[in-house]
Each structure stands twice: as C-alpha cells, then as structure tokens.
Structure 1
Amino acid sequence: MPDDVSLSHCEGAHEERERKEIDSHTIQLSSLFPSSSSSCVLSSRASNTKSSLHVTHRHGTCSRLSSGKATTPDHSEILRLDQARVNSIHSKLSKKLTDRVRQSQSTDLPAKDGSTFGSGNYVVTVGIGSPKHDLSLIFDTGSDLTWTQCQPCVRSCYSQKEPIFNPSSSSSYYNVSCSTAACSSLSTATGSPGSCDASNCVYGIQYGDQSYSVGFLAKEKFTLTSSDVFDGVYFGCGENNQGLFTGVAGLLGLGRDKLSFPSQTATTYNKVFSYCLPSSASSTGHLTFGSAGISRSVKFTPISALTEGTSFYGLDIVGITVGGQKLSIPPTVFSTPGALIDSGTVITRLPPKAYAALRSAFKAKMSKYPSTSAVSILDTCFDLSKFKTVTIPKVTFTFSGGAVVELGSKGILYPFKISQVCLAFAGNSDDNNAAIFGNVQQQTLEVVYDGAGGRVGFAPNGCS
C-alpha cells in the first residue's frame, strides 16, 4: 500500500512538472540582451518569398543604418517616446468617437527593428524614383501617408544615413495638383487638409512626439523587389522635417486610409500584407505584401468596428491567460474601450483592471525571483543577476472569433540590464482608453493584415 501511495505521489509530481513545462518558457538570460557578434541572420521567409522585404532592428547589426555594429538604444527615451505615441493614439480615437456621436499577388520585404520616431520601430528598404534610390523607411500600421525627406531642405532636414532623395534627378517624379481628389483626401490621411503652393499640393503631418514632415504631395515609382514595381504611388516629398526619425529616410504608411500603401497597391495585393518582427538585433524578419507564403496555421480575428474610419486595425480581446490560468477579467473591461494592434507602439497597454490581474498572476508565478525598482512606465521588475536561466509563465491572448495567440518567449519581458528585467506590459491611466497590442508582444509572430477581408491573423514562428 505505501508503495502505491509513493508511486501515485511520484506520478503526481511528474504530471505537475510536465504541466509547468507546458505553461512556461525557460530561457537563457543572455538571450535577452544584444550579442556582441557582428553577424546577421537573414529571415529565410524574406529571402525566398517573391514580394518580401527584410525587416531589421533600427539599432541592430542587420540594419543599413548601423554599419554592422549594434548600437545600444536608450531605453528610457524609447519608453518616453512610446508614451507620447500612445497618448496620441488615444487622443485620435477619442476624437473619432466624439465625431461619431455627433488570391492575389504577393511581395515580401524583410523587417528591421527601428525606432518609434526615434524609439522602437522597424525598418525596411524601398527603392524610390528612376533610377531607384534605396531608402530605409520605418513601416507603421498606425500611419497612412508614406513620405521621405527630399532635396532641397527648404527649412530643415534631420540627419539621415542615406543620401537625401533628390526629385530633380528622377525621371518618374511629378508633383500633384492641389485641385485633385488625392490632395483633398489628405485631411483623413494626415489629420491636416492639403494646401496650395503655385497650384502644387502641400501636405503637413505631425506625430505624437511633435516630430513632423511638411512638403509636396507627389507621385513616384516605388520598387519593392525586382518584380514588384509600382508607377504613380502618392507619397510626401518632405522639404521641412524635424524630429526623432534620426537615421531613417522617412516612413512607409500601412494604415487603412485610401492614401496608405496597401490601399494604393490593392489591385496587386488586395490589401493583404504580413510581417514578422525579429526577436534580436542580429536577425531580420520580413514584411511581405500579398498572400503568398502565409502560414496555414494563421488564426484570424475580425477587425473591430471601434476603429472604423481611422488608420488603425482594431482587435477585440476576450481573455488573457498567464501560466495556463485564465485571468478573471469581466468582459466589459475590454469591450468598453476596445483594442487595436500597432507596429509602432513598443509596450502593450491594457485597461487598468486587466493589467492589475496580469501583473498579480505574473508576480505570483515569478515569486522565486527577487523584485527590484520600477523603470518609467514598467512597474514589475526583477533582479536576475544571480541566475543564468529564468522560467517565466506563458502569456496567451484570446481574440474574438476564437483566435488564441501565445506570445513568443521574447514578447513577455523587457530587459534594461540583468539586474532590472521588467514585465513588458503597462496599464492605461483611464478605463476608457483603448488597449494597444504593441511590438514587443508581436516579436516572432507572423501577423497578417487582410484589409479586404476585414481581419487580422496570427501564427507562431513567423520569421523562419
């Protein structure tokens, strides 16, 4: 009899251990920090899919902007700018809500991790003009107008790595008249109506951190890959640009407005694009246009009605699981403010009650690791200096339509230094502010945007 008891006890312990392995990630702490290697691992997806670009870390060894040497980003500045972006998104959405109350071809670009107008964004290289001029652009699902700095810099241009585009050296460039429908539609794409300068259309766009670009609305040839070339793409040729874009030449707008790049190339790609954000500074992800190569394991969720009429891709979050346990969060916590996915927001923002439940469950599962002081917007931090590996609970989001998305192991922690590694989520200050699914949480996932089908999808292991 005692043998039976000890046997069942052993089996119980074994099952408990197996369950823990299923519900947690064990990772090498060294993998959370940039390696000193100057090598660059290219995404096979970007290399082998026709309409695909390599995506790189703005500060990483793979970036055209870093000359093969990884640079250490200023994390405090990244988080400060991230909060500015989030404030801007919430302000746009609240304005929108107030206003309301009264198989196709495919192209794959590699994604590089850049900087949210100087912080946590991702960068791709696009050819502009004839002959083509390769330029590094931040790609942004929360913006619509694509623009680049242009000669002459009438007032000022910020410092960029590549030569500034000179429209007079391109045979395919021409300015757009201010009497055109495209000029009239600037107000929805940029938030500011177009104006006239000698009958040419002038655009102006300002971002949440006060960065801006002003110049001519123009049409030009865009070359993604040798087989994916588009004539007459509307873009902003910025002759007065200021802000925290340092290094990059401009921005590729992937939002939902008719002036966005997916809308302008809809006859080719049917408003479908996907990306995988790389999990390290020494690897690339991809930005792929069209439906070629999309994983069969993608789980889709409908784009939420909350963001209709905005640039943003809305999501409906219905639940969060930590370490295999579903958090008890009333459905109205998510449904009242809604949620969206944004490639340019770094840290995922949750409604206060949802964040409190996540933080509490995460801390309970991390009780063996000593706590340490908060940094900026991140208030749940650990001192891991005495450990070589760390076991963290898995975090899973469930979206409407039954899409269950398990975050990659790199999508849960934000490392400042080994003695200060923080939970990579933050709470909104107000119950009425939308949740934002940010780019740390998106790392290594294949994220699919099907604009025509009105849905967003997720699959694991998207960079390989």
Structure 2
Amino acid sequence: MNFITTLFFCVLPLFYAPFQGCYSAATPPGDHTSSVVLPVTGNVYPTGYYHATLSIGNPPKSYFLDIDTGSDLTWLQCDAPCTKCTPAPHKPYKPNKELVECMDPLCESVHWPETHQCQSPKEQCDYTVQYADDGSSIGVLVKDSFSLQYINGTVAKSILAFGCGYNQEVPASMNPPYTDGILGLGLGKASILHQLRELGVTRSVVGHCLSAKGGGYLFFGDQLVPSSGVVWTPMSTTEIEKHYSLGTAELFLGGKTTRMKGLPIVFDSGSTYTYFSGEAYKALYSMLMNDMKGKKVYITNEDKSLPVCWKGSKPFKSIYDVKNLFEPIILKFKKSKFQLNPESYLIISKNGNACFGILNGSEVGLENINVIGDISFQDKIIIYDNEKQQIGWTPANCNRLPNMDDDDDDDGDGEPDSASLCKPYGSNLGILPPYCTAN
C-alpha cells in the first residue's frame, strides 16, 4: 500500500562520479489535447498490485511500474550503483547524464512539507520516500527520456524527472519479484502527470480501468473519458493535501446506515485493499457479521490471506458463488454515491474462502483517513480530472478499450464497433488482441 507518502530530505554522499554534459532536446510533444494510453498488468489477488509498462531512456527500455495515485514521485531501481536493489523483472536502470539540481522547484516539491535546504545551487537532489506499508526508496532525482504513445499511434519523447532509487525496502507481505519501481500520479509538481501537462503533452487528467480478470489500461489526457454515464464528485482541496480526496461521506451497508458520517475519503491506486478508519471499520464489521447470521457461511481461521474470511459447505470457485449473500457497501457524498458491490470488497482465496478485502486503517497508521484501493476500483473507469478539479467513475469493461466515438456504435448494443475501433486505435497499442483484422 502506497498511501500517505512521507519524503525526507537527506544529504547523502555523491554515490558515483558527477553527471557531466547535457541531454539532447526532447522530441517535440504532440497535441496538448491528445491522450496517452498504457497497458496494465496485474490483479488484486494474488499479485497484489497493477503495473504499467513504460519505455524509459535512450535507447528506450521497458520497466514495470506500480500505478500509484497516492504518491507523487516516480522512481526506478537504479544502478548508481545499487546499495540495496530488490529482485525485479528487469535489470536496474542505468542513469544518464542529467541530474535534477537541489534548487529546482521539482526538488522542493519532492521534499514538501519538510524544509528544503541546499548547501549549494548545483547540489544533487537527494530523496527518501517512505510508504505506509513500510516500503521505501532512497535515491537522487534524475532526468531522462520517456517514450509515450498517443492513442493515434504516434510517439512523444519527453524529458521527465524521476527518482533513481539505489536503496529499496519492500513490505514483508510481498513476494518477489517486485516491480521495477513506482509510477507516482499524485497532485504534486514532481508527479509525471504534472510534468506532462507543463510540457504540453497531455491535459492533467489521469484514469485507470482495472479488470477483475487481471490487466486493464491507464491513460493520461481526456480523450478516453466517457462522454456520458460518469458520476462526478468535486475534489476536496481542504481535506488531505496532495492526495485525491473526495471530501467526506456517510457509510452504509445495503440500505442501512452505519451511523458513520463525515468520513474523509481518498482514492489511491497504490493500495491493494480498501481501508476504513478504526471506528468506521468496527461499525461496518459488526453490521456485516449480524447480516451474515443464518446464511450458511462460517467464519474461518484457516486462511491467512486476509484477517476475515468465510467458508461454505464446499470451496467457492468464484465471487459469483457467494455475492448474493452480501449487501453492497455505499459511500454517500453530498451529491453522489460510490457503491462497492460484493465483488468490490471480497476476494476468493486459494483455499476457496470468501475474504473481506476491507481492512482497519488504524492498524497501519492511517488514523481517520479512509482509503479506497484497487479491490474497489475493479471493472470501473476511475478518472482524476485535475483540470476541472473533479473525480469520476463509471462501470466499464476493463478488458477492452472504450470507443472514443459513441456515434459509431451503430448497432446500439453499447459495445464498440470493429470498424470504428480499427480507425482510431490501429494496432490497439498492444494492450489486448486486435479488435479488427485487415480486409
């Protein structure tokens, strides 16, 4: 879980010879109104995260980055050399010759809210990032080329700043191999999303569609935002700084209130599960247990996947074997609601038990903050629109890209037509099997 990131400024010795020279100018970015789309791989269980594949460097190399809207800093494991690098899908990134200097505003953003001090203007920008799940990265900010493909197939090469992480810790609960790093998509200036907007590559809009079957897609820009059917809620700028906060909500189980009101809600794709604050979690758990009485499922301690699991008379094969026994969980905001159907808060473990994918956030130091994670995002498009300061969601088939032009859906079945998909998406960007074949 990557929510509530804490970054510390620390003066570290220069870990290799100083960078020299200048990097060549980036390929001119494309139309500001264009969107970039990236394939996504992963699942809530058993992997525990979703990652995007990014091409970085010159020549470009592929890296798997954990998608994290709960933090700003993007970083890669980096051979600078490595003090401690963890098992990962690819060899550590070899840094190029451009450092971010200590006086750079991006460096100041990385160290917010700590006091940012530089011994000299040309000093490197060191960082330490600590996550709530005890993961961490220590490194230095560098710049290099990112190759990003627009939905029309063209590629923009942009010089972006990110962390060159040479000392990493991972949570004890995770199993290797891990991702190559973190893709930070939060609200700070160091975020890749903010940098792309400043360069004119895309608008400051990011969305993800995570499939419950595994996989999905991530996009920057607003071309893949559905034209209708999206429930929008204003971003809260007062609740929780630099995180995607939706303000406060009241918590319901089915049609019954838990009497928990004024709960600060944050969306965080870096969190595998959903976390409610201690009091809200206990109220929900109590109501849920009462609701399950007489339904022929039983609490079991044989499964260590999650703290609370139920078993039936025989192992459950899928969530559809058990979902009709559970009520939806609803978060009601002032003008909208976010509904978690049973498939948005339960997993079926390898033992065939139904396990509760909502955890007590107070036990991991989240205090009164309530974090909505990947389990509750599955099979929905979630849109973080920083241009309009709003967050939206709508059910979606995340196993395939949406049609950009709803008018091309001539058969009225709500599914994209092959001819229209062939035109805007071409090779389908390698995300899924092609929608169309050559005539």
| Fold shared, TM-score > 0.5 on shorter chain | yes
Is 2:42 the counterpart of 1:107?
A: no
The Cα offsets for residues 42-92 of structure 1, whole Å up to 9 and x where unpaired, read as: xxxxxxxxxxxxxxxxxxxxxxxxxxxxxxxxxxxxxxxx5xx66x56x99
Letter in 2 for 1:259: A
TM-score by structure 2 length? Answer: 0.71
3-state SS of paired residue (2:285): helix
The Cα offsets for residues 108-146 of structure 1, whole Å up to 9 and x where unpaired, read as: 112222689x97221000000111111111111111111
The Cα offsets for residues 206-226 of structure 1, whole Å up to 9 and x where unpaired, read as: 333443323331111111225
Rounded to whole Å, the distance in 1 between the matches of 2:260 and 2:84 is 50
Rounded to whole Å, the distance in 2 between the matches of 1:425 and 1:185 is 32
Is 2:241 the counterpart of 1:309?
A: yes
3-state SS of paired residue (1:447): strand
Which of the residues 375, 396, 400 maps onto 1:461?
396
- 2:128 corresponds in structure 1 to 204
Summarize the Cα distance change of 1:211–1:279 in structure 2 as closer, same or farther, 3 Å threshold: same
- 2:55 corresponds in structure 1 to 127
Rounded to whole Å, the distance in 2 between the matches of 1:419 and 1:462 is 25
Which of the residues 69, 87, 93 maps onto 1:159?
87
- Residue 339 of structure 1 deviates from its aligned partner by 1.9
Within 5 Å, give how 1:211-222 maps onto structure 2. Answer: 211-222=135-146
Within 5 Å, give how 1:383-394 maps onto structure 2. Answer: 383-386=311-314, 389-390=321-322, 391-394=324-327
Gaps of 5+ in 2: 8-31, 401-439
Is 2:189 the counterpart of 1:254?
A: no
Conserved 8 A contact 1:395-1:407: yes
Counting helix residues as a fraction of each chain, which structure ranks higher? Answer: 1
Is 2:370 the counterpart of 1:435?
A: yes
Which of the residues 263, 273, 276 maps onto 2:206?
273
- 2:297 corresponds in structure 1 to 370
The Cα offsets for residues 171-198 of structure 1, whole Å up to 9 and x where unpaired, read as: xx52223333333332128x68576797
Which of the residues 268, 282, 296 maps onto 1:342?
268
Conserved 8 A contact 1:408-1:443: no
- Residue 328 of structure 1 deviates from its aligned partner by 4.4
Summarize the Cα distance change of 1:111–1:392 in structure 2 as closer, same or farther, 3 Å threshold: farther
Conserved 8 A contact 2:69-2:185: yes
Conserved 8 A contact 1:346-1:438: yes
Letter in 2 for 1:341: F
Letter in 2 for 1:257: G
Gaps of 5+ in 1: 1-81, 93-102
Is 2:380 the counterpart of 1:445?
A: yes
Conserved 8 A contact 1:196-1:202: no
The Cα offsets for residues 370-421 of structure 1, whole Å up to 9 and x where unpaired, read as: 3223567955431124266222334142443422333354212133344532
Within 5 Å, give how 1:132-151 maps onto structure 2. Answer: 132-151=60-79
Rounded to whole Å, the distance in 2 between the matches of 1:220 and 1:462 is 34
Conserved 8 A contact 1:272-1:449: yes
Q: CA RMSD in A?
A: 3.2
- 2:107 corresponds in structure 1 to 183
Summarize the Cα distance change of 1:196–1:224 in structure 2 as closer, same or farther, 3 Å threshold: farther
Which of the residues 348, 351, 357 maps onto 1:424?
357
TM-score by structure 1 length? Answer: 0.67
- 2:285 corresponds in structure 1 to 359
- Residue 160 of structure 1 deviates from its aligned partner by 1.5
Percent identity, aligned pairs only, is 26
Rounded to whole Å, the distance in 1 between the matches of 2:133 and 2:252 is 33
- Residue 452 of structure 1 deviates from its aligned partner by 2.1
